[in-house]
Amino acid sequence: MKSVSVVIIGAGPAGLLLGQLLRTSGIETVILEQRSPDYVLGRIRAGVLEQGAVSLMRQAGCSERMDKEGIVHHGTALMVDGEMHRIDFRELTGSSVLVYGQTEVTRDLMDARAASGATTIYDAEDVSLSGLDSTRPVVRYRKDGVEHEMACDVVAGCDGFHGVSRRSIPADVLKTYERVYPFGWLGLLSDTPPVDDELIYINDPRGFALCSMRSQTRSRYYIQCGLDEKIEDWSDERFWDALQARLPDAHQSRLVRGPSIEKSIAPLRSFVAEPMRYGRLFLAGDAAHIVPPTGAKGLNLAASDVYYLWQGLKDFYHHGKSDGLDGYAEKALARVWKAERFSWWMTTMLHRFPDQPAFETKMQKAELAYLFSSRAAMTALAENYVGLPY
């Protein structure tokens, strides 16, 4: 049977970043991915990196393009009741975020992995895990109709929300926590200049909207929509009209419309699985937790999980110590829950909930009024947005 130190399930940003970091530490990995590289790169996700994620890309040796093309943002705007309120990250926290798309992060990591010669098996079907509670787990998969198996020391479950890793933890061990929100985000990507230099989060009576970007010439916009909406019913024209209506007056005339490159509807969900470790299986990223996208924490949380796991694996292989791995789940979850709270709070504060009781509406208004009146509250938002320490 073939054998490798670490098998990573999933070639999303979590799996690829872990693979590159382990490589810098001389730890050998094989990545098993059920899809093709093009399919993985076709998924459009958020585009805001905390300094922690930026630093990990640098440590992984994958930051050349990111450092050139990423746009530093020192603040963001929240628009409520027609008024713009800027949250100044630099003044409130001394820090900033980097706008660089997750697709680009994934592409850079994929290219670096391919150049390094490390093994990534794409189109791996029916991946299954066994012996996770032993010291020598076995991973099986099928490729081009041929069955394969591989022994390893550790399995990193980086296979996203629908992956096999979390499902391989016995049901009586796993506990899950979930909130499903009664709306989705309809997103549109277009090669048009962004409507503003910074991101704008909008709480409008017609529903939430977000103006984001990928570059000076590529915009990413979202509007809140019902869960029963069908993408076929949303022509580009209808999307642009709905977005424009939610924009601040001054921005309405500045909005540049163009054909969509991508348009999709995503449901919003908060989800955490505990523990993030079972025997020699360690979950990281969306395999263990989902945040609603308000605040762009998904990729950043995957990055902090990967950091803790990398540290634990270095201790294990270089010093023969398992303390880091033993403490992984607890450390990662402490940060995960804080980001869950922040993402839930931003979502609750900025969206219009269908059939919202009048009391809840008043609470939302009071929350926002307090936020904009208090430097302490704005600092709390800013320090979570730029990213809590690892």
Q: Which residues are catalytic?
A: 73, 201, 293, 297, 385
Among 341, 331, 356, which Cα is nearest to 295's?
341
Q: How far is the CB of 365 from ligand APR (least distance, A)?
A: 29
Q: Which does 350 bind (CB under 5 to 8 A by kind): ligand APR, ligand PHB, none?
A: none
CA 179 to each of CA 109, 176, 242, 341, 359: distance values in angstroms, whole numbers, following the listed order: 32, 10, 27, 12, 20
Q: Residue 173 or 231: which CB sits closer to ligand PHB?
A: 231
Q: Tokens 């440590």, residue?
A: 59
Q: Which two tokens stand for residue 38?
A: 């093009």
> Helix and strand tally (H, E) in the chain?
13, 19
Q: How far is the CB of 43 from ligand APR (least distance, A)?
A: 7
Q: Which two tokens stand for residue 284?
A: 């990281």
Q: Which two tokens stand for residue 152?
A: 């390893």
Q: Residue 164 or 296: which CB sits closer to ligand PHB?
A: 296
CA 68 to each of CA 30, 116, 299: distance values in angstroms, whole numbers, following the listed order: 30, 22, 20
Site map for ligand PHB, 215-254, x if CB under 6 A? -----x----------------------------------
Length of the chain: 390
Stretch that binds ligand PHB, among 20-28, 44-52, 151-159, 249-257 (CB under 6 A): 44-52
Among 98, 77, 163, which Cα is nearest to 126's?
163
Q: How far is CA 164 from the centre of its chain?
A: 19
Q: Residue 194 or 324: which CB sits closer to ligand PHB?
A: 194
Q: Give the type of residue at 214.
A: R
Site map for ligand APR, 275-294, x if CB under 6 A? ----------xxx-------
* DSSP label of 288: T
Site map for ligand PHB, 70-109, x if CB under 6 A? ----------------------------------------
Q: Residue 92 or 199: which CB sits closer to ligand PHB?
A: 199
Q: Which two tokens stand for residue 95?
A: 């820090």
Q: Residue 46 or 242: which CB sits closer to ligand PHB?
A: 46
Q: Give CA–CA dist 185/382, Å, rounded.
A: 23
Residues 156-175 contacting ligand APR, CB under 6 A: 158-160, 162-164
Q: How far is the CB of 312 from ligand APR (least distance, A)?
A: 17
Asked if 212 touches ligand PHB (CB under 6 A), the answer is yes
Q: How far is the CB of 297 from ligand APR (least distance, A)?
A: 8
| Residue pair 166/281 in contact by the 8 Å Cβ criterion | no
Q: Which does 212 bind (CB under 5 to 8 A by kind): ligand PHB, ligand APR, none?
A: ligand PHB
Q: Give the type of residue at 67.
A: D
Q: Which residue is nearest to ligand PHB (CB)?
A: 212
Preceding peptide of 275 cis, ω within 30°: yes
Q: Which does 296 bind (CB under 5 to 8 A by kind): ligand APR, ligand PHB, none?
A: ligand PHB
Stretch that binds ligand APR, among 40-48, 131-139, 147-155, 244-252 (CB under 6 A): 40-48
| Residue pair 4/152 in contact by the 8 Å Cβ criterion | yes
Q: Which does 184 bind (CB under 5 to 8 A by kind): ligand APR, ligand PHB, none?
A: none
Q: Which does 220 bind (CB under 5 to 8 A by kind): ligand PHB, ligand APR, none?
A: ligand PHB
* DSSP label of 256: P
| Residue pair 216/194 in contact by the 8 Å Cβ criterion | yes
- The residues pairing with 200 across neighbouring beta strands, listed in sequence order, are 77, 211
Return residues touching ligand PHB (CB under 6 A): 46-48, 199, 210, 212, 220, 293-296
Return residues touching ligand APR (CB under 6 A): 9-15, 32-35, 40, 45-46, 102, 124, 127, 158-160, 162-164, 285-287, 298-299, 302
